[in-house]
Structure 1
Amino acid sequence: MTHNIRISIKNTGHDFYGRSSAPDTLAIWTHNLDTMNFYSNFTAHNCPSSNGQNVGELSAGVVAGDAYRFFSNYSMDITGGYEQSVGLAGGFAQGGGVGSFTTTYGLMADNAVEFEVVTADGEVRIVNQCSDPDLFWAMRGGGGGTYAILTKYRVQVYPSLPIHVFTFSANFTESSSLGNDTMNNTALREILTAHANNQPDWSAQLVTGQIEYFPERLSVSLVLPYGDNGSKLKSATASFSQFLSNRTDLAVSSHGYMSYPNYAVYLDVTTADAKVTEPSGIFSVLSTRLIPREVFSSPATVDGLVDGVMQGIATARSLLNLTGVQIVPETPITNLDSNQLTSVHPAWRSALWHVIHVGEWLEPMEADAMQRTTEGFLKLVEPLKKLSPGGGAYLNEANYLEPDWQQTFFGSHYDRLVEVKKKYDPTHIFDCYKCVGWRGQQE
């Protein structure tokens, strides 16, 4: 620290806040650390309680797609996300790590076994539940680029499961006559309500995936990793599928069930489709909220939830032409972390929905206009915040202007995380935007 040069850490750079880069810093790029290993029998460093079977080792720069294909060679699945170009061991896993296996096995942070890291004092450490357990805890959900430079991530992996998928896509036939009057879209309201009413049962049966809603259409992709021929997913979604099929106010473009032998094959197919149907090279803004189980417990709170989501859909479209909301039930309902072994926001443990309002635009926007748009998007979740006081949002997928970011991203763990930060990085070498210990614009 003779020259007071701080360090920023970049893996693949998938970050909505730009935390992987910072002015006047020395940037350490971990993307080329890309080795992997599989241990059928794993011996942890000085920690017999962490010994176990089926542990994967990822160097810091391994991207998800490569990891899925590597572990599929051993008939194993790793608890990563949908986007294959994300570096799993970086901010993704260190910020929680959400994906199609979250309902079944928990977040990727829940499945962490051991890390190799370099701390601010230059020491190489192997951390786990026995060695530097406070640092291990902080890096299991407390955000990347904050406490140490991670070089290797060891994580529990699982025998591969077939992936079963229910898809449904349709346009609202009323939408053209309604114009911008989204709040009076009866089909949207009734389908959202049915979705919310089904969610507790779907979550109990470990159904995940996402449903996307737009003012003019919807797209359903419900996913179940499960060792059968798809009958469990069909049973779980049968009434909802019939409800959608019977509607006369939808112009259906696709409807059906598919099964894939494993996650790697499933993602290869969906990624190939996305290259044709999904835009790239665009600008985007988010606003998100985790919705707790109690909101789904009564007609009154479900009505409030549906109203809040629809208000967000309507307001977003008044700000940008390319908008929609993703409702993602990828929450760790089978891993309640009752012993608080991870630093993931506690709101994850009671959530059934992760609501993500997305806005996109194609050409560069003037700074003032972009600021107004981002601030406008931040307000989209205000109705949802009122339904979930003391709750939060996924720190990897949220609005970078979030004012109450300590509570929203870290919850009740924040003060303890600050103490870990002070212990292992007392001079703030690794500070990043709205990370634990961030001291504001003077950074």
Structure 2
Amino acid sequence: MAAPCYSDSPYYNVSACDVVENNYNDSIPRGSYYGETYWLNWETCGTSGCSLLSPNPEETLFKSCSLGRLASYYVDVRNASHISAALKFVQAHNIRISIKNTGHDYFGRSSVPNSLAIWTHNLKSLDFHQNFTAFNCPSANGQNVGEMGAGVVAGDAYRFYSSHGMDVTGGYEQSVGIAGGFGQGGGVGSYTTSYGLMVDNAVEFEVVTADGEVRIINECNDPELFWAMRGGGGGTYAVLTKYRHQVYPSVPIHTYNFVASFPSSGSANNTENQALREIMAMHASSQIEWSAQLVTGQVDYVLNGASFGVVLPYGDDGSKLKAATAAFAEFVGNRTDIIVVQNNYTSYPTYADYLAVTAVDAKKTEPAGIYSILAARLIPRDVFATPENVDALVDAIVDGMVKASTLLNFTALQVELETPVTNLDSKQETSAHPAWRNSLWNVIHVGEWDEPLSPAAHENATTGFLEILDPLKKLSPGGGAYVNEAHYGEPDWQETFFGSNYDRLLEIKNKYDPSHVFDCWKCVGWRGEQE
């Protein structure tokens, strides 16, 4: 994308560079280039790459334009036959492959150096079936089923289904390709509490397996593969081309917004974070009731403030959300030691109307074109059941926030309330980590920076972010983390990302991909860096 801005590039062009600079931090235009990822970690390599300086995109980030860690070549896929041909080619010539959709990827799984990439971003078809007939599977027939090509991004899906009076269980950020790694690794968003994970709503997939065969899989056809791709992660079993899934009649979106700064809590000294601790404790103490009322959304904490974007999709005038959050709103509204910027409720007729709000918020909380690292843990219900456990949770989180602030210039803590409390998957129809079914929070430590770190500083941040998870792991023994949003250095990745499903997932992997054509970072069957 930034090649027109580098004077040593054959694509150098001042006018084209002006356009690039204007769009550089916008995740939607970035996704339309194969050579871009959402975060620079995964398109650059040390001091090698072809990027702009995010705070000042008129400046190049490197001395010269190079591939960084991008694939050497890519196939711009427009139909399934392109994938079949690519897979047969790489096996004939023993070439490593990678699979990329949008590049919204915290692990670098979609950008692999020295590989041939299969780029599915331009598979943009969208369809809606009021009455759906599954392929050779009467038990999967149903009503209100959507169909997306692998490259459809969330914003386009929301608007399309909204035009049919329907909602889809997509994600928070509009540029995410919700049929790709999102829709195969779990998939969480504003509808998760109401309708379950994205994988819970999968009805049928069109895929290309390692042998180059195009298959339509569902609960009747290749049921093992269908199960594995409903939670076992993207880029692992087959290349998905179409995703057919349940959609639901649209309902209004009600939001509770609380934004405040905590002047007395801005110190990195963890003994001075009283306002942060007390507000987080009230939030945690409220969570069991909020989950019972299907309240969802995201909360961002920093040492000196918080921003709540609490959401409830529900067919009323907002009264249910107000009743569920009234005690918390009163608690924070009556505090005199914080500066309250916002403490109110807003409703939107449809999720499509709500998109303008999420787009603005995402640019602040998840800016594109920078470097990022995550450390995350799913927190089970029993942690919220007693005051003692809540205190331990708050201590673990705030102490981690304090340590994170010593590692990187900008750090924050995000709590996702997007857990599938209404879908416990008692019949184990999906392969998503079982820890999802008993968790109320997905706690994510976030670190961000603008320019490449020195190797020592990068290693220090990576190790430090892994260490701040230790107290959360002690509170959730046998638990896990979201395979799409976690620390890429997780040592116990099989258990942490897949839990008790791992052995079965590996058997299915070996059946459908015996030669490991699909091999991505800490995915099922990953053979390590040296392979």
Instruction: Provide TM-score, normalisation by structure 2.
Output: 0.82
Q: Which of 374, 377, 384 is the equivalent residue of 2:472?
A: 384
Contact between 2:264 and 2:273, CA under 8 Å: does it hold in 1?
A: yes
Counterpart of 1:153?
243
Find out whether 1:33 has 2:123 as its counterpart: yes
Counterpart of 1:409?
497
Question: What CA distance in whole angstroms lies between the structure 1 residues aligned with 2:257 and 2:121?
Answer: 34
Find out whether 1:105 has 2:195 as its counterpart: yes
Aligned AA (2:454): E
Find out whether 1:264 has 2:352 as its counterpart: yes
* Same amino acid, percent of matched pairs: 67
Question: What CA distance in whole angstroms lies between the structure 2 residues aligned with 1:97 and 1:349?
Answer: 13
What are the Cα deviations for residues 322-349 of structure 1, in whole angstroms up to 9, with x where unaligned? 1110111100010000110000000000
Residues 321 and 138 (structure 1), Cα distance of their counterparts in 2 relative to 1, 3 Å cut:
same
Question: What CA distance in whole angstroms lies between the structure 2 residues aligned with 1:420 and 1:299?
Answer: 43
Contact between 1:182 and 1:215, CA under 8 Å: does it hold in 2?
A: no
- Where structure 2 has 5 or more consecutive residues not aligned to the other structure, the ranges are 1-90
Q: Secondary structure at the match of 1:88?
A: coil
Question: What CA distance in whole angstroms lies between the structure 2 residues aligned with 1:254 and 1:24?
Answer: 49
Question: What CA distance in whole angstroms lies between the structure 1 residues aligned with 2:364 and 2:496?
Answer: 35
Q: Secondary structure at the match of 1:38?
A: strand
Residues 393 and 160 (structure 1), Cα distance of their counterparts in 2 relative to 1, 3 Å cut:
same
Find out whether 1:4 has 2:94 as its counterpart: yes
For this pair of structures, how many residues does the alignment match?
A: 441
Q: Which of 251, 258, 279 is the equivalent residue of 1:168?
A: 258
Q: Secondary structure at the match of 1:348?
A: helix
Find out whether 1:345 has 2:424 as its counterpart: no
Q: Which of 362, 372, 375 is the equivalent residue of 1:284?
A: 372
Question: What CA distance in whole angstroms lies between the structure 1 residues aligned with 2:304 and 2:219?
Answer: 50
Aligned AA (1:342): T
Q: Which of 146, 169, 194 is the equivalent residue of 1:79?
A: 169
**Structure 1 segments of 4+ aligned residues over 3 angstroms from their partners:** 272-280
Give 1:6 shift. Answer: 2.9
Residues 316 and 278 (structure 1), Cα distance of their counterparts in 2 relative to 1, 3 Å cut:
same
Question: What CA distance in whole angstroms lies between the structure 2 residues aligned with 1:364 and 1:6?
Answer: 27
Instruction: Provide TM-score, normalisation by structure 1.
Output: 0.97
Q: Secondary structure at the match of 1:2?
A: helix
Question: What CA distance in whole angstroms lies between the structure 1 residues aligned with 2:175 and 2:300?
Answer: 22
Aligned AA (1:317): S
Q: Which of 458, 483, 508 is the equivalent residue of 1:420?
A: 508
Question: What CA distance in whole angstroms lies between the structure 1 residues aligned with 2:251 and 2:483?
Answer: 29
Counterpart of 1:115?
205
Residues 60 and 288 (structure 1), Cα distance of their counterparts in 2 relative to 1, 3 Å cut:
same
Give 1:150 shift. Answer: 0.6
Q: Secondary structure at the match of 2:289?
A: helix
Aligned AA (1:299): P
Counterpart of 1:316?
404
Contact between 2:506 and 2:524, CA under 8 Å: does it hold in 1?
A: yes
- Where structure 1 has 5 or more consecutive residues not aligned to the other structure, the ranges are none
Q: Tell which has more relative contact order, 1 or 2 (C-alpha 8 A, sep 6+).
A: 1
Contact between 1:183 and 1:310, CA under 8 Å: does it hold in 2?
A: no
Q: Which of 116, 120, 145 is the equivalent residue of 1:55?
A: 145
Q: Which of 191, 203, 214 is the equivalent residue of 1:124?
A: 214
Give 1:16 shift. Answer: 1.0
What are the Cα deviations for residues 151-175 of structure 1, in whole angstroms up to 9, with x where unaligned? 1000000001100000011111213
What are the Cα deviations for residues 357-409 of structure 1, in whole angstroms up to 9, with x where unaligned? 00111222112211210110111111000010110000100111000000010
Find out whether 1:18 has 2:108 as its counterpart: yes
Aligned AA (1:271): A
What are the Cα deviations for residues 37-95 of structure 1, in whole angstroms up to 9, with x where unaligned? 00000000111111000000001111111111111100100000011111111001100
Residues 362 and 24 (structure 1), Cα distance of their counterparts in 2 relative to 1, 3 Å cut:
closer
Question: What CA distance in whole angstroms lies between the structure 2 residues aligned with 1:110 and 1:274?
Answer: 25
Give 1:272 shift. Answer: 3.5
Moved more, 244-253 or 18-27: 18-27
